[in-house]
Amino acid sequence: MIKLNPKLSQKFAVAFLFCATIVAIIPVVIIIFIIIKNGYSAISLEFLTAMPTNGMRSGGIFPAIVGTLSIVFCAILITLPIGVCAAIYLNEYAKDTLLTRLIKLAIVNLAGIPSVVYGLFGLGIFVMFLGFGVSIIAGALTLSIMELPVIITTARGALNSVPPAFREASLALGVSRWQTIRHIVLPNALPGILTGAILSIARISGETAPILFTAAAFYLPHIPRSPFDQVMALPYHLYIISTQIPNMPKNIIFATALVLLMMVLSMSLIAIIARIYFRKRRKW
């Protein structure tokens, strides 16, 4: 082993760590660059607001955008209240028993299940057993089950970051546990919970496997009328036009990817801005 002098080895270490960081961001930059370069020519108001025509080879992707938004909106509507309630229970009430440790372990493991397994689960339970059919509601339920562990984990983090001194002060005033949570803990945890929810929306917008068997339609050029309607969805639509349709114009494929990417990125951006805003306003 060559012994470098400490100053030099410090420089090497920093350079090496910096390179590793660069490697991490290069693919992101390249992906975004390629998608924009190949896709921007097809982006227009019509592309965003029109029905697909000519076997999806022209026209717009409006039904897929609406489909994705409605599935994701329903999913977050289901998963957020349940997730926050579970997080409150686990963080504020649950004693450290074998049962709660099992629940926490299950939550961690649920987050590691491949999303296609959730898709099959949704097909079995919501589409077939409960008879919702392939529909927005079946897809939303499947996505919400998949996202529940993430919501619970981020909400617990947000609740945990509220200083214990606030809880103590409130309890010492003879305020009950629940009132303390409602008036002190929740208002201060809300920013964290909301940013977590927005990031979840971003994440599930791009999910394909869970909605593959439960919500997504191959080709359905109209707007859904009820939660029990089948819909087109952006990620699945992207998969179809890139693999199943012969003679598909390249720029439409990339433009569809670009729209999906922008939806996800803008959601993350909103979360980042919200976090900065709340951090500035935070007073402790």
Partner 1 sequence: MAQIEIKNFNLYYGSFQGLKNVNMTIKEKRITSMIGPSGCGKSTLLRSINRMNDMIEGVKTEGEINIAGNNIYDQNIDIDVLRRNVGMVFQRPNPFPISVYNNVSFGLEVNRIERKRNVIDEIVQKSLESVLLWDDIKDKLKKSALLLTLEQQQRLCIARVIAVRPQIILLDEPCSSLDPHATQRIEELMMRLKEDYTIVIVTHNMQQAARVSQDTAFMLLGELIEFDKTSKIFTNPGDKKTDDYVSGRFG
Size of the site for partner 1 (CB under 8 A): 21
- Structural element, H or E, at residue 59: strand 58-59
State whether residue 53 is helix, strand or coil: strand
By the 8 A CB rule, do 248 and 180 touch?
Answer: no
128 binds partner 1 (CB under 8 A): no
| Interface with partner 1 in residues 178-217 (CB under 8 A) | 179, 183-184, 188
CB proximity list for 282: less than 8 A, separation 6 or greater: 191
Q: Which stretch binds partner 1 (CB under 8 A): 22-30, 37-45, 153-161, 173-181?
A: 173-181
CA separation for the pair 118, 133 (Å, rounded): 16
Question: Measured from the CB of residue 173, what is the shortest distance to partner 1 in angstroms?
Answer: 4
Q: How many CB atoms lie within 10 A of CB 208?
A: 17
Contacts to partner 1 from residues 57-116, by CB under 8 A: 95-96
Considering the complex, state which of residue 138 and residue 181 has its C-beta at the smaller distance from partner 1.
181
Mark out the alpha helices in the chain (DSSP H runs): 6-39, 45-49, 62-88, 98-110, 115-122, 136-160, 164-172, 177-180, 186-205, 209-212, 234-243, 250-281
Helix (H, G, I), strand (E, B) or coil at 231: strand
Rounded alpha-carbon distances, angstroms, from residue 214 to 125, 136, 249: 10, 8, 28
As a whole number of angstroms, the distance between CA 89 and CA 86 comes to 5
CB of 170 to partner 1, least distance (A): 7
Q: Binding to partner 1 (CB under 8 A): which residues in 129-168?
A: 163, 165-166, 168
Tell which positions 246-275 bind partner 1, by CB under 8 A. none
Among 91, 170, 230, 256, binds partner 1 (CB under 8 A): 170
**Shortest Å, Cβ 156 to partner 1:** 17
Q: Binding of partner 1 at residue 22 (CB under 8 A)?
A: no
Out of 11, 37, 250, 282, the residue judged to bind partner 1 by CB under 8 A: 282
Residue closer to partner 1, measured from CB, 184 or 193: 184
Could you tell me the smallest distance in angstroms from the CB atom of residue 160 to partner 1?
15
Q: Which is nearer to partner 1, 112 or 174 (CB)?
A: 174
> Does residue 171 bind partner 1 (CB under 8 A)?
yes
Which of 44, 176, 244, 266 is the binder for partner 1 (CB under 8 A)?
A: 176
CA distance 242 to 248: 7
**Site residues for partner 1 per CB under 8 A:** 95-96, 163, 165-166, 168-176, 179, 183-184, 188, 282-284
